[in-house]
Amino acid sequence: MTAGHNGGNRLLGIVERIEELEAEKAEIAAQISDEKKGAKSAGFDVKAINELLRERRMSKAEREERWAILETYRAAVGMLDGTPLSESARRRLSGEEPKPETPDASDTDETPAAPPPPLDLDAAREAGRAAARDGKRILDNPFVAGDPRRAAWDEGWCAYTGSDGMEVPPAWRRKKPGKGDGKGGESGAEAGGEPGQGASGEDEGEPE
Amino acid sequence: MTAGHNGGNRLLGIVERIEELEAEKAEIAAQISDEKKGAKSAGFDVKAINELLRERRMSKAEREERWAILETYRAAVGMLDGTPLSESARRRLSGEEPKPETPDASDTDETPAAPPPPLDLDAAREAGRAAARDGKRILDNPFVAGDPRRAAWDEGWCAYTGSDGMEVPPAWRRKKPGKGDGKGGESGAEAGGEPGQGASGEDEGEPE
Amino acid sequence: MTAGHNGGNRLLGIVERIEELEAEKAEIAAQISDEKKGAKSAGFDVKAINELLRERRMSKAEREERWAILETYRAAVGMLDGTPLSESARRRLSGEEPKPETPDASDTDETPAAPPPPLDLDAAREAGRAAARDGKRILDNPFVAGDPRRAAWDEGWCAYTGSDGMEVPPAWRRKKPGKGDGKGGESGAEAGGEPGQGASGEDEGEPE
Amino acid sequence: MTAGHNGGNRLLGIVERIEELEAEKAEIAAQISDEKKGAKSAGFDVKAINELLRERRMSKAEREERWAILETYRAAVGMLDGTPLSESARRRLSGEEPKPETPDASDTDETPAAPPPPLDLDAAREAGRAAARDGKRILDNPFVAGDPRRAAWDEGWCAYTGSDGMEVPPAWRRKKPGKGDGKGGESGAEAGGEPGQGASGEDEGEPE
DNA sequence: AATGCTCCAGCTGAGC
DNA sequence: GCTCAGCTGGAGCATT
């Protein structure tokens, strides 16, 4: 604490150094907190943002692997709720290696007519954005379920809808559930005849 | 400390009572830990089990709401990875209330011929189970993407595959990623032309 | 499905077993929570109770060792605040092994007249209890600083004061500090002369 | 990401901003970790350092209050282990306000002969430092229990002992307890004779 | 070197 | 709305 600084006191030196660093860290943490508070008061669901951040921290491959396993487990206990397994889960279960990384449309080649070039995706995204701008609804997505451009269109639509100049739509914010029933009761699905297929088509998609 | 027990010492009484309870709690926790350890050594991915448990703790409605919001956020930042929004997310974004809860097949009535009664689902599940028993692959699911029975078949298949008498399939266990690249690099989707569409149809599915 | 229960579904079995255990655990946790809530509304400082529980979890030997190290570190950075090192810390620094475990009064033999037999301690404790009963103050402890009976008298006094039939004294409950200044500024000890004389600031265990 | 940056996407903006901040935070955390690792390999007990840091985070007043309550609770359940209550705890129990804050030696003036001016403390500290330099032991502290200079001497001794140029003494590092017995069995204090003499002069001071 | 364990910080949910 | 206790996930550590 004196000159060089603390008078040759090793422990004090360590402690003070750490305290400085922790002060910096606390400052950053406060900034993060502020940012989230701002997001919250703008109408965003902070919890979902946290989840999003967590997902972004993992690589895509890891994300997919974990997701595939989880889906499989859900299926095994009867909790799919009407959503079929995703392709990556099917691939895993078939013993195929994670992902052939087919830059070209290898698995869509059964669609003889149009091997949709990647470019299409950007176009679809832009179309979605434009649609949102024109006041179209998300239901107006023109692409069918299996079409990769369907997702791109969705992305464009959502990106525009949440863009600045616009209010955060009510659907983006979480309404307090007022304490749900607590259990989905999926385990009964096995026994009971009626499988809450309320889920019905989870993402089947109407044909354009 | 004397008779009844601690000699009229309130604090000691409180502390001892809590300690007893904590001992019981610790015992239960140990049992849980054992159970998970057993699961792990049987080949299950404990982390995924934990996630499954978390999901089961919420009601189905809540689960869907959170999921819908998360999907929307993913879309807005371009992380859909080829998976289009699910139906419940679309419903939310359209301002429709959570879910009409149509136990009867109201939303599938566009299929004029066969309003598939819930029974179908059980049949599909059983079919999936039988298929697994016969050594069929998950890819042999005969139902098309939009069909709710597709999920049921998957459930049956997975339930059988993970049943006793059978080894836990390798796909159910997590392989160490050996430290992934760290970031998927999705943000580049906006700019770049090539949108890892390897994802392509996430779960469109070939029609048998 | 039927049999034992879940139809030979291993994962489901695991999950359900864990859920049962977690339900039990949650029940215990609720009881603990209630107990603490009761203590709080009786005027106790729950945080201090938690700390007490933590200390009781470690053996006396471990508690002393940790304490000795911490004291030494405090001394080295000038945070003793007027409290000299305890004997166990001195022993450690002298290289003596943890504790001679002298059941008889080995180090008090410098008190030539009375090697106080253990009985004295009980008597002192009882005296403290009686003093409290008679409305004496804690300051009336008749034993001098170095006398082991001083602590025993304190114990008796406190045990009686907190006994049932009596209100929990105001001093036992924590008054909100109104957000302290955040730093003690002990590092100034090097420069400043005045050490917080009384003593006190000992430490707690780690606050969870 | 493009222009201003992300194309007017609010959510993406938030997320990216947070990610930047978290990256900074992680960097600081790594530095802290390094610092602690260094301390450890120099022979310090990192856990004790963490505890020290925690204590330094609270104001002295808060630290004293918490400590006083905890001591009182320990006394009430018979866990004093021979250490009498500290002065601040006594003050609390007597209903006196936290601390008279006597800058001058008010509570030592009952020592008629020498009202030790604060300067003495620095002298004592220096004496302790010199003693350590000369190879004296901590046991050679010349001040008696009640003397505030006793603590100052200890501080000087410890500060020197841990100063650079010197190896961290073995007593400063924690030896693994090899899993303690789990409970001290303090409640047996009533029965046992052993008055944890270590207490000796803990922080007594005035003779009754 | 890999595995399992322990410990810590950060996050989540409940209470005031 | 804020704080606080509990808890889960991650990291370091010891061990085989």
- Answer whether D19's CB lies under 8 Å from B187's CB: no
Residues of chain D positioned with their CB less than 8 A from the CB of B77? 9, 11-12, 15
User: Residue D87 has what pLDDT?
Assistant: 85
Provide the pLDDT for residue A124. 96
* Nearest nucleotide to B53, CA against C1' atoms: F8
Mean pLDDT of chain D: 76
* pLDDT tier for residue C127 given thresholds of 50, 70 and 90: very high
- Whether the per-residue pLDDT at A122 is higher than 90: the answer is yes
Compare CB distances from C1 to A9, A76, A191 and report the shortest one's residue.
A191
The set of strand E positions with any atom below 7 Å of a protein CB reads 3-5, 7-13, 15-16
pLDDT at D75 over 80: yes
- More confident of the two residues C1 and B95: B95
Query: Quick one: pLDDT at residue D189?
Result: 38
Q: Is residue D93 a contact partner of residue C138, using CB atoms and an 8 Å limit? A: yes
Contact by Cβ (8 Å): D160, D132: yes
> Looking at the predicted structure, is the pLDDT value of residue B38 above 50?
yes
Confidence of residue D8 (pLDDT cuts 50, 70, 90): low
pLDDT category at D206 given cuts 50, 70, 90 is: very low
**Which has more pLDDT, C139 or A163?**
C139
Residue C160 has pLDDT above 90, yes or no: yes
Question: CB of C178 within 8 A of CB of C194?
Answer: no
Which pLDDT value is given to residue C189?
A: 38
pLDDT higher than threshold 80 for residue D100: no
Percentage of the residues of chain C whose pLDDT score is greater than 90: 38
Burial zone of B103 (CB within 10 Å; 0-12 exposed, 13-18 middle, 19+ buried): exposed
The pLDDT, as a whole number, for residue B168 is 84
Indicate the average pLDDT of chain C.
Answer: 76
**Sign of the four-CA dihedral B50, B53, B55, B58:** negative
Kindly indicate the confidence band of residue C17, based on its pLDDT and cuts at 50, 70 and 90: very high
Q: Are C199 and C81 in contact (CB under 8 A)?
A: yes
pLDDT for residue C136: 94
Cβ-count burial of B27 within 10 angstroms (0-12 exposed, 13-18 middle, 19+ buried)? Answer: middle
Q: Calculate the dihedral angle through the C-alpha atoms of A175, A180, A186, A189, rounding to the nearest 10 degrees.
A: -110
For chain D, the chains sharing at least 3 beta-carbon pairs closer than 8 angstroms are: A, B, C
Per DSSP, the residues of A157-182 read HHHHHTBTTSPPPGGGSPPP-SS--S
Most confident of A93-102, A162-171, B145-154: B145-154
Q: Under DSSP, is residue B39 helix (H, G, I), strand (E, B) or coil?
A: helix
Look at A12 and C76 and tell me if their CB atoms are within 8 Å: yes
Residue B124 has pLDDT above 60, yes or no: yes
- Which range (C103-112, D31-40, D51-60, D193-202) has the least confidence? D193-202
Alpha helices in D77-147 (DSSP H): 87-93, 118-133
Residues in B closer than 8 angstroms to A196, CB to CB, are 60
Quick one: average pLDDT of A198-206?
38
Confidence of residue B164 (pLDDT cuts 50, 70, 90): low
Is D116 a residue whose pLDDT tops 60?
no
CA distance C48 to D71: 9
Going by pLDDT thresholds of 50, 70 and 90, the confidence category of residue D96 is confident
Share of chain C above pLDDT 70, in %: 69
Q: Degrees (nearest 5) of the Cα angle D178, D184, D186? A: 170
Q: pLDDT band at residue D32, thresholds of 50, 70 and 90? A: very high
CA atoms within 13 A on the CB side of A108: 22
Nucleotides on strand F lying under 7 Å from protein C-beta? 4-13
Higher pLDDT, D189 or B24: B24
The tokens describing A78, both together, are 């009867």
Lowest mean pLDDT, pick from B114-123, B133-142, B159-168, D103-112: D103-112
pLDDT band at A44 (very low <50, low <70, confident <90, very high): very high
Sequence-ordered alpha helix ranges (H) in chain B: 10-41, 46-57, 60-76, 87-93, 118-133, 148-161, 188-191
**Per-residue pLDDT at C57 exceeds 90:** no
Chain B residues 50-69 within 7 Å (CB) of strand F:
50-51, 54
Cα A67 from Cα D107, distance rounded (Å): 68
